[in-house]
Amino acid sequence: MRILGDTQSISLLNKSTPIIICKPLYNGSTIFILEANLVQLDKSALVIYKVDYELMHKCLGYPSKDVLTNAPKHIKGFPKDLEVPSESPVCSGCA
């Protein structure tokens, strides 16, 4: 991937194929707008991460184990299979 740009456009290219093209809002503008084309993705390049207790604990602002245990009952889309450890050391964010 590489980025090319000048006063007429800023482009993100995969090899020589433009993936994203931004053009000035109007001639001479320093504000660029996005024009994009759909591309076929190589599905083998996609990475899926499993949500775990540590990640949720940090991302949600260090809630208690009780909050994370009960969250699936009250929050639409919250992972129902989150494994909350019975014992874990106090993290640096909670200390």
**What are the residues facing 12 on neighbouring strands?**
3, 20
Domain map of the chain by residue range?
Answer: 2-38, 49-84
Taking only the tens place, the pLDDT of each residue in 54-70 is 888 888 899 989 999 99
What does the pLDDT read at residue 87?
A: 83
* Higher per-residue pLDDT: 3 or 91: 3
pLDDT digits (tens, 9 = 90+) for 62-91: 998 999 999 999 998 888 888 888 887 888
**pLDDT the model gives residue 45:** 66
Residue 10 to residue 88: CA distance in whole angstroms? 48
CB 34 within 8 A of CB 63: no
Residue 37 has pLDDT above 80, yes or no: no
Q: What angle do CA 32, 36, 37 make, to 5 degrees?
A: 160
